[in-house]
């Protein structure tokens, strides 16, 4: 009888936990979609990049010919397919923006659940990251940034599960997602190699064999990109027109590659403007912004103080290294084209670390948590509104 009661209570407990987790997942999906979709409603026209994606995607669906650029095939095809349903290009991209925000929101929430235990801290950090200007606003200029970033963070969450569970199933999912990230943007190939290297390093450090899951991950990734690679091959391409034609067309205006491939001029320090983007405050505005949303600095300068304290808030496990891979992946663009908006994939990780640091400061100083959590969210929200006014004007 006692055993029956114990088992019954255990089942009820697990059932309640399952409901809570499902509600949390639903919460993160709903918040992400609504927040990003509402912001996207402020767009009153498509940008030049978005018009290109839609045009070449439509041509591809109608004739099987992918023209002009091969840099973002997945986004082009998805946008063209949705536009055939809604017959409204602007609404199509607003929905894609909302869906990308939904995926990114879910990914961040699940990552935070792995790092934090307190539900209040998880929800605060989640909202904090979503409201960081570089996440929610910067991508309005070029939607390919948020589209890739959302897939990349979802893939690293499942890759993290692959590591801690040594699971073939999660390896399959992460391989598929990383393949999709490559089809979304060229950074995905760097993400792929970064995750493979991370798995090999972790296997060596922990004396654990990850060979099976690594092989599944690589195989599924290759299968995911195979149709597109076959199409490129049939058109005498290997990776992308960005790689083949970027240098010849002058697209690589200030990347390291222009010197390596024989431009003949060394890169000046001033060209590496990502230093200014991330570290150097301007006299114009201490939180770093610019008049144009297209070149807005994506990570507020004062939040770097909290990033430094973020490492003290978590009980670090070596498996957490995988969460840093998108941060390094996004810097691959510096090889070809140094422009700050391409660094957006690093911002969610920086936002997570900043939120953890802020929580750490509150806990260490026994401050009123509710009061100070609300204060920083209010400040970030005011920044968002200010940037949005700039955008609308």
pLDDT digits (tens, 9 = 90+) for 33-66: 999 998 888 878 887 778 888 888 888 888 877 7
Q: What is the pLDDT of residues 349-370, one digit of tens each?
A: 888 888 888 888 888 888 888 8
pTM exceeds 0.85: no
For residue 278, what are the CA distances in angstroms to 15, 66, 82, 170, 298? Answer: 45, 36, 36, 34, 8
Domain span including residue 166: 2-392
Q: What is the pLDDT of residues 180-229, one digit of tens each?
A: 998 888 778 888 988 998 889 888 888 888 899 999 999 999 999 888 87
Q: How many domains does the chain have?
A: 1
Cβ-proximal residues to 257 (8 Å cutoff; 6+ apart), any chain:
247, 335, 336
Rounded to a whole number of angstroms, the distance between the first and last alpha carbons of the chain is: 71
pLDDT of residue 307: 78
């Amino acid at each position: 009888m006692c055993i029956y009661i114990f088992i019954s209570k255990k089942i009820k407990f697990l059932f309640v936990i399952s409901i809570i987790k499902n509600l949390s997942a639903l919460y993160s999906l709903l918040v992400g979609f609504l927040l990003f979709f509402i912001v996207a409603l402020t767009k009153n026209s498509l940008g030049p990049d978005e018009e290109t994606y839609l045009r070449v995607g439509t041509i591809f669906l109608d004739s099987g010919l992918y023209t002009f650029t091969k840099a973002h095939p997945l986004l082009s095809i998805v946008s063209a397919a949705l536009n055939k349903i809604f017959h409204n290009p602007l609404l199509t991209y607003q929905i894609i923006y909302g869906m990308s925000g939904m995926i990114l929101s879910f990914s961040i929430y699940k990552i935070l659940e792995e790092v934090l235990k307190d539900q209040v801290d998880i929800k605060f950090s989640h909202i904090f990251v979503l409201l960081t200007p570089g996440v929610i606003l910067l991508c309005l200029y070029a939607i390919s940034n948020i589209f890739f970033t959302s897939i990349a963070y979802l893939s690293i969450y499942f890759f993290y599960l692959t590591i801690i569970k040594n699971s073939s199933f999660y390896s399959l999912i992460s391989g598929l997602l990383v393949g999709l990230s490559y089809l979304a943007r060229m950074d995905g190939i760097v993400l792929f190699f970064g995750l493979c290297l991370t798995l090999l390093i972790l296997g060596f450090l922990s004396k654990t064999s990850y060979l099976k899951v690594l092989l599944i991950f690589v195989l599924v990734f290759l299968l995911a990109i195979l149709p597109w690679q076959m199409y490129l091959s049939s058109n005498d391409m290997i990776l992308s027109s960005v790689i083949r034609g970027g240098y010849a067309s002058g697209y690589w205006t200030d990347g390291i590659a222009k010197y390596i491939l024989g431009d003949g001029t060394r890169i000046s320090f001033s060209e590496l403007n990502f230093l200014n983007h991330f570290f150097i405050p301007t006299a114009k505005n201490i939180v770093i912004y610019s008049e144009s949303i297209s070149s807005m600095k994506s990570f507020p300068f004062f939040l770097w103080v909290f990033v430094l304290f973020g490492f003290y808030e978590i009980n670090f496990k070596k498996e957490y290294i995988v969460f840093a891979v998108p941060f390094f992946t996004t810097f691959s663009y510096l090889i070809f084209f140094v422009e700050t908006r391409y660094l957006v994939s690093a911002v969610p990780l920086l936002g997570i670390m900043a939120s953890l640091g802020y929580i750490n400061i509150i806990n260490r100083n026994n401050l009123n948590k509710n009061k100070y959590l609300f204060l920083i969210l209010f400040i970030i929200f005011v920044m968002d509104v200010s940037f949005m006014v700039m955008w609308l004007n």
